A and B are shown apart, each in its own frame.
Chain A
Amino acid sequence: MSELRFDDVTVRYGRTAAVDGVSLAVPPGAVVGLVGESGSGKSTLARAAVGLAPIAGGRITLGGVPVPARGRSRPLQMVFQDPYSSLDPRMTVGASVAEAMPPGGSRADRRAEVERLLELVHLNPACAGAVPARLSGGQRQRVALARALAARPRVIVADEITSALDVSVQGAVLNLVRELQRELGLSMLFISHNLAVVRYVASHVAVMRRGRLVEQGPAARVLTEPGHEYTRELLAAVPGRTTRRSRP
């Protein structure tokens, strides 16, 4: 396992810098939570990591080597926010997962691997033949996780993977993320606007605002003794925190 590092990364859209000189490390086997509001650049950073957004400055390395943005070997995989857009509606679940697997292996091997991955995300392997339309949002998100795992990544980037889900389903996906991290020792960059969700899955937390990183550190420290004014503001805005305060 190796460390994912962002060194002074800048991403520009036209004249505006969506990500502005961000340096961040995802240690092996750790889940780093990246929080921030919409437009803070956290999703752009994620897309840059997997080569979906061109970087204008800095470098992104994995174990000291630049992350490849071309070719078939992609050690970084991403899971997207919208489960209704992230699976090809015309492809069966099994085909979607198999497509991400490295080339090679017999047909039977590949099928066995698909089944293993589906079991890993708690889906009945029999659903490999189903099209996404038959799956619920939570199930689709688990297929997306299985697809990401199929590419045998060293790091997974999860971009707001629970924010489009109903609360009753969100819990199951979060439990799965924690379980995969524990059992597979997976490194993960976990992006969310929800501090409580990040607190639940991440060991480290980084806070972004307007393209810049304003604070990072161990989750326990950042969320209990925030060093930056903006982090404090975010924490104060978490609903439920103020329940006692505003009640007479």
Chain B
Amino acid sequence: MQGRWTRVVRTPLGLTATVLVVAVVALAVLGPVLWGSGAGAVDTDAILAPPSAEHLAGTDNLGRDILLRVLVATRLSIVLALLAITIAVVCGLVLGSAPFVLGRRSGRLLAAGVNIAVAFPGLLLALFFAVVFGVGATGAVLAIGLAGAPAFARLTQTLVAGVVARDYVAAAQAMGIGRLRILVRHVLPNIAEPLVVNATIGAGSALLSFTGLSFLGLGVQSPSYDWGRLLYDGIATIYVNAAAALVPGAAVLLAGLAFNLFGESVAKGLGVPAGIGLGAVVPGRRAVPVDAPAPAGRTAAADRPSDVVLDVRDLEVTVPGPAGPVRPVRGVSFDVRRGEAIGIVGESGSGKSMTALAITRLLAGRGRVDAARLEFLGQDLLAPDTAVRRRTLGTTLAMVFQDPMTAFNPTRRIGAQLAEVATHHQGMTRRAAAARAVDRLAAVRIPDAPARVRQYPHEFSGGMRQRAMIGMGLMGSPALIVADEPTTALDVTVQQQVLDLLTAIRRADDVALVLISHDVTVVGEVCDRILVMYAGRIVEDLPAADLVTAARHPYTRALVDAVPDMTTDLAEPLATIPGRPVDPADVPRGCAYADRCPLAGARCRAEDPPLVAGPDGPPGHRVACWHAGEPLPAPAGRDYDELVESP
């Protein structure tokens, strides 16, 4: 908490704003005490005098010093603004949280009322209330306060709705805790921060609105004066002494800015962690494999079989983090042959999705990619992007993403989104491209494709969208499909259809597939070879057929055993992996899995094991473990899961 607030003050903008706010408040407290009498002193010899050494901003029509009056007016201006914003926040809080307490029906009515009121601009409401409450300071405070209430009510409503949708509120309701109590205990503490920030910004706006009303002659009346009143008087004499209008104007502006900037920097300071910048990233380098010796016999280009579609050597991804650069992918090497299906499995944070984005060069701006080699169909993907390469990739490399709900542009028709590929890369006419889109949708078994191309993504079900996404990849003639968790968001029966479709395409056209998933059973079913990733590295590379029976890395074995399937022994507890996955920002020395591994010894904590084929194992089975294949000890009894400090 404390740290976040000090962070606000540390930014140059935040510091300026804080200093300004403190200065304005100090002036409000001290101004009338110090200059109260001077500001009231009438000097008939110097009526409407222009700025001079004696009167820095000149005098008004009674010969009173403008500058002193502006300084003294600080208190009234600030106090009135704060009163008004208090009224606005209190009314808004009550109106905004009432729907939750009142429940469905009356709540909805209240919310509808707020919705209508919030559509009307504050100034209009303020004018209305100014008529009702009469011209003068009291009327103006009430007018600006009440006029600001709908906006705060709406804000509160939105914030409350956000918290109420969380399950902890549902849990509290299921416990039988009353709504008012839930509001006080669970809702208000969680919306306090944004409310305070907005109230600060609101104070600045209230100050400006107040000045507006006073400027119109509807606010503070003589002989009292705030900045708006001084401005009103100053405008009348602007041709004689412009400073009489400009100085109070500048004061208002400065004070309004102080509150606004303070609120904005607090909002920024509380919302996003500071210090993220690409400047912190280490300078890029190309291909220096230090800690990961490439497997023998696989390095030289001449040795590469010609049917390699994708060739990845020592891939590294570096992204900026709050405490310096983080490397979520640390030296990944593999190749994919024509028609081959590779599965990449790992838990969240293992770097598998980063790998997918890196090998397809879709990381854009989020980090840098280094590799000894990154080639797709013999083309160097590390080279700068060109139109020619875009065309090649656009027609031969297909992507399928995790969430079919968000992967299509919601404002364009499905057909147009497919056709785009053909018009851009294959030089087709619109008509030909549209026809091809229909054909491709039919190919991925979307019924009634001619009508479906005219629909928008939201009119498709999740499974159909995912198939349309695959169809989009088939607009060209792909050599490789990279599918990142393509079925995670889908139901099981739909998942099966999508997996079957991918398999069918692969079989029919000899298309290679890289399937990324957290689910070992899914990749085990679809793929020929499986890469298991942990903490940004491949820890095991094995044939899918060996996954259940012959996995050698303790992590792979635990991963397989932890997932129940339809044949799991009901008498035995499931395997578990103690501890937490490694934080990419803090990868330990040696084997990253050592802390969670029952086999780990001193060597594991000191030396990172290379990914190599076992001496007695088949060459296609590589594993990075000093204790590969050793029997695992029986799981420990019931002990505590120790709390881990989160990053």
A–B direct touch, CB within 8 Å, in complex?
Answer: yes
Contacts of B492 in A (CB 8 A): 37, 193-195, 234, 237-239
Q: Are A124 and B642 within 8 A (Cβ)? A: yes
Q: B167's contact among A74, A82, A167, A243, by CB below 8 Å, is which?
A: A82
Does A197 sit within 8 A of B, measured CB to CB? yes
For residues 460 through 513 of chain B, which have their beta carbon under 8 Å from a beta carbon of chain A? 491-496, 499, 503
Q: Contacts A196-B566, A237-B496, A240-B525 given: A134-B174 contact, CB under 8 Å?
A: no
Does B558 sit within 8 A of A, measured CB to CB? yes
Q: Are B639 and A122 within 8 A (Cβ)? A: yes
Does B409 sit within 8 A of A, measured CB to CB? no
Q: Which residue of A lies closest to B462 (CB)?
A: A38
Q: A171's contact among B173, B576, B644, by CB below 8 Å, is which?
A: B576
Q: Which residue of A lies closest to B494 (CB)?
A: A37
Segment at the A interface, from B184-192, B278-286, B318-326: B184-192
Rounded to whole Å, the gap between the CB of B162 and the closest CB of chain A is 11
Segment at the A interface, from B133-141, B516-524, B600-608: B516-524
Does A112 sit within 8 A of B, measured CB to CB? no
Does A63 sit within 8 A of B, measured CB to CB? no
Does B307 sit within 8 A of A, measured CB to CB? no
Q: Are A130 and B175 within 8 A (Cβ)? A: no
CA distance in complex: A74, B172 (Å): 11
Does A8 sit within 8 A of B, measured CB to CB? no
Contacts of B646 in A (CB 8 A): 133-136
Q: Which residue of A lies closest to B568 (CB)?
A: A200
Q: Are A223 and B167 within 8 A (Cβ)? A: no
Q: B574's contact among A89, A144, A200, by CB below 8 Å, is which?
A: A200
Q: Are A80 and B568 within 8 A (Cβ)? A: no
Does B171 sit within 8 A of A, measured CB to CB? yes
Contacts of B573 in A (CB 8 A): 171, 175, 178
CA distance in complex: A133, B185 (Å): 18
Segment at the B interface, from A15-23, A65-73, A210-218: A65-73
Contacts of A237 in B (CB 8 A): 492-493, 495-496
Rounded to whole Å, the gap between the CB of A63 and the closest CB of chain B is 18
Q: A37's contact among B190, B493, B522, B558, by CB below 8 Å, is which?
A: B493
Q: Which residue of B lies closest to A200 (CB)?
A: B564
CA distance in complex: A38, B175 (Å): 26
Rounded to whole Å, the gap between the CB of B205 and the closest CB of chain A is 28
Does B420 sit within 8 A of A, measured CB to CB? no
CA distance in complex: A135, B166 (Å): 18
Rounded to whole Å, the gap between the CB of A163 and the closest CB of chain B is 10
Does A24 sit within 8 A of B, measured CB to CB? no
Q: Contacts A130-B643, A144-B171 given: A247-B545 contact, CB under 8 Å?
A: yes
Q: Are A135 and B643 within 8 A (Cβ)? A: yes
CA distance in complex: A153, B150 (Å): 42
For residues 152 through 193 of chain B, which have their beta carbon under 8 Å from a beta carbon of chain A? 166-168, 170-177, 185-186, 189-190
Contacts of A38 in B (CB 8 A): 491
Q: Are A52 and B174 within 8 A (Cβ)? A: yes
Contacts of A130 in B (CB 8 A): 643
Q: A167's contact among B175, B495, B562, by CB below 8 Å, is which?
A: B562
CA distance in complex: A136, B521 (Å): 24
Interface size on B, residues (CB 8 A): 59
Chain B 554-580 interface 0/1 with A at a Cβ cutoff of 8 Å (1 = within): 000011011111101010011111001
Q: B564's contact among A71, A124, A196, A233, by CB below 8 Å, is which?
A: A196
Q: Are A50 and B348 within 8 A (Cβ)? A: no
Q: Are A240 and B521 within 8 A (Cβ)? A: yes
Chain A 53-85 interface 0/1 with B at a Cβ cutoff of 8 Å (1 = within): 000000000000000101111101110111001
Rounded to whole Å, the gap between the CB of B267 and the closest CB of chain A is 18
CA distance in complex: A70, B521 (Å): 44
Does B638 sit within 8 A of A, measured CB to CB? yes
Q: Are B565 and A246 within 8 A (Cβ)? A: no
Does B581 sit within 8 A of A, measured CB to CB? yes
Q: Are A136 and B640 within 8 A (Cβ)? A: no
Does A29 sit within 8 A of B, measured CB to CB? no
Q: Are B496 and A168 within 8 A (Cβ)? A: no
Does B45 sit within 8 A of A, measured CB to CB? no
Q: Are A77 and B174 within 8 A (Cβ)? A: yes
Q: A170's contact among B496, B503, B563, B640, by CB below 8 Å, is which?
A: B563
Does B645 sit within 8 A of A, measured CB to CB? yes
CA distance in complex: A22, B362 (Å): 48
Q: Are B566 and A74 within 8 A (Cβ)? A: no
Does B595 sit within 8 A of A, measured CB to CB? no
CA distance in complex: A73, B522 (Å): 44
Contacts of A189 in B (CB 8 A): none
Does A51 sit within 8 A of B, measured CB to CB? yes
Q: Are A50 and B167 within 8 A (Cβ)? A: no
Rounded to whole Å, the gap between the CB of A140 and the closest CB of chain B is 11
CA distance in complex: A51, B170 (Å): 10
Q: Which residue of B lies closest to A72 (CB)?
A: B176
Does B439 sit within 8 A of A, measured CB to CB? no
Q: Which residue of B lies closest to A174 (CB)?
A: B574
Chain B 615-647 interface 0/1 with A at a Cβ cutoff of 8 Å (1 = within): 000000000000000000000001111111110
CA distance in complex: A169, B168 (Å): 21
Q: B175's contact among A74, A126, A234, A247, by CB below 8 Å, is which?
A: A74
Q: Are B173 and A52 within 8 A (Cβ)? A: yes
Q: Contacts A80-B171, A133-B646, A167-B347 given: A88-B566 contact, CB under 8 Å?
A: no
CA distance in complex: A124, B190 (Å): 27
Q: Are B167 and A239 within 8 A (Cβ)? A: no
Interchain residue pairs with CB less than 8 A apart (9): A37-B492, A38-B491, A78-B170, A99-B177, A127-B643, A151-B175, A167-B520, A175-B573, A239-B499
Q: A52-B173, A195-B566, A240-B566 are in contact. List 15 more A-B contacts (CB 8 A).
A: A37-B493, A70-B176, A90-B189, A90-B190, A99-B172, A99-B185, A124-B643, A136-B644, A167-B563, A168-B347, A171-B562, A175-B576, A196-B563, A243-B524, A246-B525
Residues of A within 8 A of B (CB): 37-38, 47, 50-52, 68, 70-74, 76-78, 80-82, 85-91, 96, 99-100, 119, 122-124, 126-127, 130, 133-136, 138-139, 142, 144, 147-148, 151, 166-172, 174-175, 178-179, 193-197, 199-200, 223, 233-243, 246-247
